[in-house]
Amino acid sequence: MPSPRLLPLPGKGPEDVVLTPDGKVVTGTDDGAIWRIDPADGSVERIAQAGGRVLGMHADADGSLLICVAGHGVLRLAEAGAELEVVIGTIDGVPLAFPSNVVRDDDGTIYFSIASRRWPFEQWMADILEHSGSGQLVRRDPDGTLEVLVDGLQFGNGVVLAPDRSCLLVAETGAYRITRYWLTGPRAGTHDHLVENLPGSPDNMSLGSDGLVWVGMVAPRNPLLDRLFALPGLFRRLSWALPDRLQPAPVRSTWVLALDFGGTVVHDLQRAGDTYAMVTSVAEHDGTLYLGSLSESAAAVTAVR
């Protein structure tokens, strides 16, 4: 991967980055602020305050945004400076505490992932260690009807809708795989795995202008974490009680993948995480890559070549 150019932010942890129709980059930080960045000069403007940890986002053609906010649900920002409105706040009367990523189809159908129904965002590592699979992939029809499409996800994360609407992809960060839910054809209503046994942890995903699925890879697989997954649940829960210094920690790296809808890896771009690390999102346009991170105080720009 070419060396990234940093776009400094007034806050930390731009977990997801999306591109708006006017070429700006939008992201959110851990203080609940939502920022619009001009990648040409690096200028930053705060356009909203979400009131909670901003996670996955989706930018519509009209410039409006759908935003996953921990503890609040899926919210909509119609325009810069507007009040955020709750689109999905509960499921069957239960608050939507940990929505992870979201995408909207042209007909108004919304698809979103839930990372965990047992742990809040602040304790996301507990869900990874417990490995109980309480994540979900959910559809909201234009009339407001909610349907769980896939249950039992291992930390459901990035969501991508195929351009031909044949399938929906969701990243399972805790299982090192990308799951595919079929929307049309003979397999409609079923799911399988587009790719399995990835060498690292997939996070947010996006559809690039090149038609590829771009995946932010948080870090390479941790051998200790892999060994913990093979142990009974009691031992995994006990590991959560260990001091931070003894728990599995991600290796600093800058890493993104791009796959086609057949599961073939087209791009595998990596570099040492000396200047930017823990890439949780990537958005591609005309060969330029925009990166987000859970740990940095900047977004970043690099290129496919």
Spatial CA neighbour of 101 closest among 36, 15, 224:
15
Residue 1, pLDDT > 80, answer yes
% of the chain surpassing 90 pLDDT: 84
Check pLDDT > 80 for residue 240.
no
State how far the Cα of 236 lies from the Cα of 94, in Å rounded to an integer: 27
Q: How confident is the model at residue 223 (pLDDT cuts 50, 70, 90)?
A: confident
Report the chain's terminal Cα–Cα distance, integer Å.
Answer: 7
In three-state secondary structure terms, 163 is: coil
User: Which strands sit side by side in the sheet containing 156-161, from one edge to the other?
Assistant: 156-161, 167-172, 177-182, 191-195
Identify the three-state secondary structure at position 144.
Answer: coil
More confident residue, 262 or 122: 262
Token pair recorded at residue 227: 């060994």
> Could you give the number of structural domains in the chain?
1
Q: Where are the alpha helices (DSSP H) in the chain?
A: 124-130, 223-229, 233-240
- Token pair, residue 133, equals 């699979």
Q: What is the DSSP string of 209-224?
A: TTS-EEEEEEEEPPHH
pTM of the model: 0.93
Specify the residue for token string 């993948």: 257
User: CATH code at 197?
Assistant: 2.120.10.30
Q: Which domain holds residue 243?
A: 5-303
Amino acid type, 201: S
Mean pLDDT of 115-127: 86
**Structural contact between residues 150 and 170, judged by C-beta atoms closer than 8 angstroms:** yes
Q: Check whether 135 has a pLDDT greater than 90.
A: yes
Flag the least confident range among 129-133, 174-178, 280-284. 129-133
Please report the pLDDT score of residue 229 as a whole number.
65
Given a contact cutoff of 8 angstroms between Cβ atoms, the answer to whether 293 and 276 are in contact is: yes
